[in-house]
Amino acid sequence: MSTPADSRRVALVTLGCSRNEVDSEELAGRLTADGWELVDPDGPADVVLVNTCGFVESAKQDSVDTLLAAADTGAKVVAVGCMAERYGAELAEHLPEADAVLGFDHYPTLGERLTDVVAGRRVESHQPVDRRTLLPITPVQRPTAAEQVSLPGHAWLPGARPLRRRLDDSPLAPLKLASGCDRRCSFCAIPSFRGAFVSRPAEEILGEAAWLAEQGVRELFLVSENSTSYGKDLGDMRALERLLPQLAAVGGIDRVRVSYLQPAETRPGLVRAIATTPGVVPYFDLSFQHASEPVLRRMRRFGSTESFLALLEQVRQLAPRAGVRSNVIVGFPGETEEDVAELERFLAAAKLDAVGVFGYSDEDGTEAAGFDGKHDPDTVAERVARISALVDEVTARRAEERVGEEVEVLVGQAADEDDDCSGWAEHQAPEVDGECVFADGAGIAVGDLVRARVVAAEGVDLVVEPVEVLPRTRVGAEA
């Protein structure tokens, strides 16, 4: 498809996690401020901008497939996001269908670079560096230095407003607490391309929360690579405990949800803040990854079945109905049958609401890629199937235990001829933890917060009957 050089229609495709969704909305804000017209990905566009994911092999393949499909439309194709940042010029060399591969440092001038692409001018591909080297090693020295480094999802316009444009009308929106990670998990490459850990100032987070409330958002989903580290570079390890009540008091915001907690860093004060603060949902996204101590040590992580169960006991003493989700990796190099049995023992006792099960695969540049004791793919697949079957059983049982309870459901999908009316309760994060489906959704609209009674469970999903639609707190007023 040939286009005039001054045509400025861009379609934005987002892959990967909620952090990428925030980044895409920043890019949308930047581009519209530069005069670009955002168009639907299915419609005619001059440029298709693909915000890629580079986390695991399947996500990288999905990114490549999406870039190839975009090229088939005849539009110019530009790759940004984690895979572009991680591989840069190497990706450009192996994927000539992409007209440009841009890194995070291109984001402030993205509109200009897309203009170059449409005009047929060559744009040099991003040259990757280990982004951990761009900031001081000592966290408390970072706040000033971070102003010179591009941190996606941290941008602001003059007048103290987020440089962000919403790309959907969901009543839930992700909100970034921080970027980067200082941990050195042996299987994870994320710190190398997302950089060292940098917290956002509380006033920025609160300002963006108020702006999101004005856009109709009722639930904030706090995202980062490691939320339990929030504040350490600001000189306050209790910063998140202090921030949560302030976010919950933002007018128009009914629920605040925290994601990605490191079990070894989850302090009693933070557990209490999440479990007991009005307006903060008692939801614990705890990244256990395994339960066998030898495997956890090889992963460069800390914990054990006993310490993890003790943490869960802390949570449930304060909030018996709290939702808990986690992820586990099986087939890690050196993992024995005894290690798998220990993971099974933990999962059987933990009573988690949702668990993602992943088979280990080597990631470029990680310590684990050089470990001995690798398992063949068939063994990894067998262990994934074995643990997944156990997870299905224990999470379904946990859902059954909720039959008869009352839950508050934020409606994300209204009933029509093809779909049920559905949403998510406090113990469920959307898209990953199951959902609540209304037996009768008549009169219920997207964005409603509904008190409902659980009447049945179908796997991890709950069937609910509405009791009442709850009023929204007034936007612009404290709760």
Binding-site annotation: residue ranges for [4Fe-4S] cluster:
17, 53, 82, 181, 185, 188
Written as six digits, the tokens of 218 are 């009722």
Written as six digits, the tokens of 378 are 């068939």
Residue type for 209, please? Answer: A
Yes or no: say if 91 and 98 are a contact pair by the CB < 8 Å rule. Answer: yes
Residues of the binding site: 17, 53, 82, 181, 185, 188
Written as six digits, the tokens of 1 are 């498809």
Residue type for 307, please? Answer: S
431: Cβ contacts below 8 Å, ≥ 6 apart: none
Q: Is 148 helix (H, G, I), strand (E, B) or coil?
A: helix
Yes or no: say if 81 and 51 are a contact pair by the CB < 8 Å rule. Answer: yes
Yes or no: say if 149 and 107 are a contact pair by the CB < 8 Å rule. Answer: no
Q: Which value, in Å, is the radius of gyration of the alpha carbons in the chain?
A: 23
Tokens 């017209």 correspond to 37
Nearest Cα neighbor of 44 from 14, 70, 21, 5 is 70
Q: Is 385 helix (H, G, I), strand (E, B) or coil?
A: helix
DSSP-assigned beta bridge partners for residue 325: 285, 354
Distance from C-alpha of 247 to C-alpha of 346, rounded to nearest angstrom: 34
Nearest Cα neighbor of 232 from 206, 262, 271 is 262
Where do the H-state alpha helices sit in 150-292? 190-194, 202-214, 239-248, 268-276
Interior angle at CA 188, CA 182 and CA 191, nearest 5? 35
Q: Is 256 helix (H, G, I), strand (E, B) or coil?
A: strand
